[in-house]
Homo-oligomer: A and B are copies of this chain.
Amino acid sequence: MQHDASQGAGRSTRRSGRKGKLATPRRSDVVRGGLPGGQFQPLSPAQQDAINQAALTLLEAVGMGNPTASATEILTGAGCQLSDQGRILFPRALVEDTLAKAARRFVLHAQNEQHNLEPWGANVYYGTAGAAVHLVDLETNTYEDSSAIGLYKAARIVEEMDNIHFFQRSMVARELTDLQDLDTNTLYAAIKGTSKHVGTSFCEAWTMQQGLELLHYVAGGEEAFRKRPFVSQSNCFVVPPLTFAQEACGCLEIATRAGMPVLLLSAGQAGATAPASIVGAVTQAVAECLAGLVYVNAIVPGHPAIFGTWPFVSDLRTGAMSGGSPEQALITAACGQMAQYYDLTGGSAAGITDSKLPDAQSGYEKAYTNVLAGMAGVNMVYESAGMHASLLGVCLESYIIDNDMLGACMRIIKGIDFKPESLAVEVITKTCLEGPGHYLGSDMTLSLMESEYLYPKLAERWSPKEWVEHGKPSLLGRARERMDAILAQPQPEHIPLDVQAYIEANFPIKF
């Protein structure tokens, strides 16, 4: 494949004429992405201080093992020490200096600017993520191999979901055994399917170049992409506890130099690769993400990095992951608080379920983890929709089911509108003393109908009689119908068709 960056750059004029084609996003008036959470504070300020101090102690005394030569050079150059055991030790002052200069309040761009994210403070966005290896077929209840076309369908569905605000790669294109093919197709399936902010990951440093070329072409040149990087890199730079993942470090360096925001993802598992105590798992993750933050800022000071404290919970009886557990809800909420403690953009995981299928278990596990993540002010709630089997499976119908749940979570985060007139003393008085003795047609009811009450898109509120009259349709069946309708629409054109054609002719696109 030959690709000349100037070709991309040459497209910039043409691209500027394209914005008018973008559809207005279907946003509810009642909720929107970015409403501020922070109502739930499981850690006290003193406890947050203690976690910070413990993390700094760990970075100073234990540091990170298994550095690459490049990481060693970069980090010792920035003021770290290399220990006798070959570990990189991080002086407290260096971490604190990094925190002082780290990027804050950076926009995460979307191809459609109306989907731009402002993930700071306690602003909450729900999105996808994952590296599931299965796609769940609900017609046969089968865990099939996930694929590039499955990922593309997922992106297209998420594009239509009001309450899923960004799309990080959720499944592995298992049919693509070549790493270059895998990474390029994964990236393209996501950005072709949705105009929302995309997160993806790369297997190794050498596979990234092709992806960057593709992104520059879509953006209309490298500078255009650097100005509005609409794709971030999800990077598992650490193998917990406190050990560098060498391939990921290579990708991290390239992404940082290429102006691509990075998600510094520390995914320990409490009781297995992280301490069993919730506080200990959070502390270790904080230490690891601070190490990553020093690393990124040593490469490019102020480069946008998401503080991805993302510890999972184990079922301690078996060691199996249990992402739908109540302990997971607490651990993720605590992580959200720690990102706010540092005033960094925080990303953590919620909405995981241990159930294999979209059922009552998956419903309740997803709900309590997602609502508490949002209420804790996690800026980027990853994995919030579509996942099953503690992230091993994706179910496309679940994106549609979960979208309503996430809307409800956001409505709860929005909270209670309290104005003097909300007390309704006059309304109640008049209704009781002058009639009609109910509020059905009152001005208050009519005015609040569209501003304070959220109406689900898929979930039903029929009476039993109406439900029978409709033929007792199941939630899964209705989700399937909606999915089929979305996928039957013309393919998205936020990437103009000629650009798509060029990419599909000149890059190894295989779906």
- List residues of chain A with CB under 8 Å of any chain B CB: 39-44, 47, 50-51, 54, 57-58, 61-62, 65, 85, 134, 141, 143, 241-243, 270-280, 283-284, 287, 313, 315-320, 322, 324-327, 329-330, 334, 354-368, 371-372, 375, 389-390, 392-393, 398, 401, 404-405, 407-409, 411-412, 415-418, 420-425, 427-429, 431-433, 437-440, 442, 444-445, 448-449, 452-455, 459-464, 467-468, 472, 474-476
Select which of B241, B279, B418, B433 is within 8 A of A423 by beta carbon: B279
Chain B, Cβ-Cβ closest to A85: B433
In the complex, which of the residues B47, B273, B422 contacts A439, with contact meaning CB atoms closer than 8 Å? B273
| Pair A363/B371 contact, Cβ less than 8 Å | no
In the complex, what distance in Å separates the CA atom of A392 from the CA atom of B317? 39
Contact A424–B40 (Cβ < 8 Å): no
Chosen A-B contacts, 11 in total, with CB atoms closer than 8 Å, are A43-B416, A276-B449, A277-B452, A278-B417, A283-B428, A287-B428, A317-B449, A326-B412, A354-B462, A364-B367, A368-B368
| Top 10 closest pairs, chain A to chain B, by CB | A363-B363, A280-B424, A367-B367, A364-B367, A326-B411, A279-B422, A275-B424, A360-B363, A326-B408, A276-B445
Given contacts A325-B408, A448-B316, A464-B393, contact A437 B241 (CB under 8 A): yes
User: How many chain copies?
Assistant: 2
Known: A51-B423, A279-B424, A364-B405. A454 touches B416 (CB 8 A): no
Q: Is the CB of A392 within 8 A of B463?
A: yes
Residues of B within 8 A of A44 (CB): 418
Which residues does chain B contribute within 8 Å of A270, judged by CB atoms?
439
Cβ–Cβ < 8 Å partners of A287 in chain B: 428
Task: Determine how close the nearest CB of chain B comes to the CB of A130; give it in whole angstroms.
Answer: 14
Partner of A276, one of B318, B416, B442: B442
Q: Closest CB-CB distance, A177 to chain B, in whole Å?
A: 21
Interface contact A432-B62, CB-CB below 8 Å: yes
- Chain B residues near A401 (CB, 8 Å)? 360-361
Inter-chain contacts of A460 with B (CB < 8 A): 354-356, 361
Q: Which of A242, A411, A428, A453 has the most CB of B within 10 A?
A: A428
Q: How far does the Cβ of A337 sit from chain B's closest Cβ, in whole Å?
A: 10
- Cβ–Cβ < 8 Å partners of A51 in chain B: 423
A58 touches B408 (CB 8 A): no
Q: Is the CB of A461 within 8 A of B424?
A: no
> Provided the pairs A58-B428, A368-B371, A454-B326 are in contact, do residues A417 and B279 lie with their beta carbons within 8 angstroms?
yes
Report the bound CA distance from A463 to B476 in whole Å: 22
Q: Check A445 against B316 for contact (C-beta < 8 Å).
A: yes
Residues of chain B within 8 A of A411, CB atoms compared: 325-327, 330
CB distance from A175 to the nearest CB of B (A): 18
- Selected contact of A275 from candidates B275, B320, B427, CB within 8 Å: B427
Interface residue from B61, B284, B327, B459 paired with A453 (Cβ < 8 Å): B327
Taking a contact as CB atoms under 8 Å apart, the answer to whether A439 and B475 are in contact is no
The residue that A428 contacts in the complex, of B141, B242, B408, with Cβ under 8 A, is B242
